[in-house]
A and B are shown apart, each in its own frame.
Chain A
């Protein structure tokens, strides 16, 4: 695996809290990664440290094999526009794009112009006077048009309407196809970015809960819908991640793929095989991973109220 981002034993402590706790992570080059987690999980802190905007209390970060902090050999290849990015006072969008064009060696001005038109970014409105969605669009355009080797998007959809969000996903993917690079997107909208990401990283309370390729993750579970006895027979001794009952019909999500015999049984017993949504799968898996931790901190908390379920909300 060619590694773009290597994070080793990184911790970030503030006076009264620990934002990151001994995080180690290795993200593959030329891949779109999804960084998922609840508010305050440590996503932005992790991205800030990876892009040298913040400093770790302990540990080491390497981007494209180099330490990024105060390193002009690697920094021009990194782009991280924050969710609530601050721009130069009185700047118009074209001012921000012009500054970005001078900063990023691979900046594509035509692409930025085309994106600004598609996102309907107003030309004569100062950025500070724009709506939240329009400001987010300015950040998204800088992120895509920079063509930085390692690009981070911190919840880029904030304020964007459904059309603009889809436009972001489509344009990012189209440009990524022509110019592969490493992209890290933090998001709460897991299913919305599910088709976009190739690798999932879930973070909670400053710790990495899960890191896995999406395809591999999808193969880990299956949802069976049908009569309770038939579903129980096919599920066998597999670990049940989630189960819902609707009269005699049950909907059960179990760990593990089905073999050929089991697939035949699914047809014969009129059981329906439903693809597991990435969002639900991550919620269930992280709930399971967190269970021992939560049982020691809050025994009264059950899996349906587990904080990990908030990941997808």
Chain B
């Protein structure tokens, strides 16, 4: 049987409804695309969250045991682990999920909207877990060892538990945007251009530090930091994230999903 032979036998489908669809009708599907493999964006970050926390608690208990139950409160940096994990997961989204989304014929705009909404949901979840973890650490006095992974003075500064959660969520979202940016930039430009961009960013940061140092502005910076709360910090970080979001869309707009 040839295709020519069957051609006239079949009925012609009508798809006028598709042509009148909203340009954003597939955003929920693009959002769910990020959770196609549940372990990637949910399972693995949760394992890292609780795993790093458990390790920090064990180390805290151990140190307290060595100090015969005495000593100052012990603060760990283990809460960062999930943020680093999600940074790489966002990079995976750009390197693997984006090419697959093109095979599913999503527009770049819809893919980006779905992905960034998913990142925002994940970050909100992380922020909520962060707040719950602070409450748990407070209720147990740092698991009876004054070992704190989430109830950090830097995070709760002038704002309390809710502010710390908001700050954690904002930092998480910002980190995911950074991970996504470098991965999609790698897809868009050559390796040399990628490193040149990284060097340019580092140079800009060094220049800022040198200008502050040269003008002896560090006391002013310290004063400014002291009056900030986690809420205002979160606001600044979200402002940075907004800039990164726009930058990411500009970069992905002409990215091509070659293997």
Question: A95 to B36, Cβ gap below 8 A?
Answer: yes
Q: A72-B110, A148-B105, A196-B3 are in contact. Are A86 and B37 (CB under 8 A)?
A: no
Contact partner, A48, options B23, B24, B37, B256, Cβ 8 Å: B256
> In the docked arrangement, what's the CA distance between A104 and B22, Å?
15
Tell me the chain A residues, 105-150 only, with Cβ under 8 Å from chain B: 105-106, 139, 142, 148-149
> In the docked arrangement, what's the CA distance between A75 and B29, Å?
14
Stretch in contact with the other chain, from B13-21, B161-169, B178-186: B13-21
Contact partner, A89, options B10, B19, B37, Cβ 8 Å: B37
A148: chain B residues at CB < 8 Å are 105
Question: B100 to A96, Cβ gap below 8 A?
Answer: yes
Question: B97 to A88, Cβ gap below 8 A?
Answer: yes
Tell me the chain B residues, 89-122 only, with Cβ under 8 Å from chain A: 92, 95-97, 99-100, 102-110
Question: A75 to B7, Cβ gap below 8 A?
Answer: no
> In the docked arrangement, what's the CA distance between A87 and B26, Å?
19
Contact partner, B36, options A30, A32, A88, Cβ 8 Å: A88
B29: chain A residues at CB < 8 Å are 102-103
Question: A73 to B21, Cβ gap below 8 A?
Answer: yes
Is A215 part of the contact surface with B, judged by Cβ < 8 Å? Answer: yes
A181: chain B residues at CB < 8 Å are 13
Tell me the chain B residues, 1-59 only, with Cβ under 8 Å from chain A: 1-4, 6-7, 9-13, 15, 18-26, 29, 32-33, 36-37, 39-40
B10: chain A residues at CB < 8 Å are 176-180
CB distance from A12 to the nearest CB of B (A): 10
A79: chain B residues at CB < 8 Å are 103-105
> In the docked arrangement, what's the CA distance between A96 and B37, Å?
9
Q: Name which residue of chain A comes closest to B31, CB basis.
A: A102
Q: A73-B21, A103-B29 are in contact. Are A53 and B3 (CB under 8 A)?
A: no
Contact partner, B19, options A30, A73, A84, A180, Cβ 8 Å: A73
Is B160 part of the contact surface with A, judged by Cβ < 8 Å? Answer: no
Q: A30-B12, A76-B26, A99-B104 are in contact. Are A90 and B6 (CB under 8 A)?
A: no
Is A100 part of the contact surface with B, judged by Cβ < 8 Å? Answer: yes
Q: Which 7 residue pairs are nearest across A and B when measured between Cβ atoms? A: A177-B6, A103-B104, A102-B29, A86-B99, A84-B259, A75-B105, A72-B23
Q: List 22 A–B pairs whose Cβ atoms lie within 8 Å, in order of A's numbering.
A: A52-B107, A72-B21, A72-B109, A82-B99, A88-B36, A91-B36, A91-B37, A92-B37, A95-B36, A95-B37, A98-B36, A99-B33, A99-B104, A102-B33, A103-B26, A104-B104, A105-B18, A148-B105, A173-B6, A177-B9, A177-B10, A215-B4
Residues of A within 8 A of B (CB): 30-32, 48, 51-55, 66, 70-82, 84-92, 95-96, 98-100, 102-106, 139, 142, 148-149, 173, 176-181, 195-198, 214-215
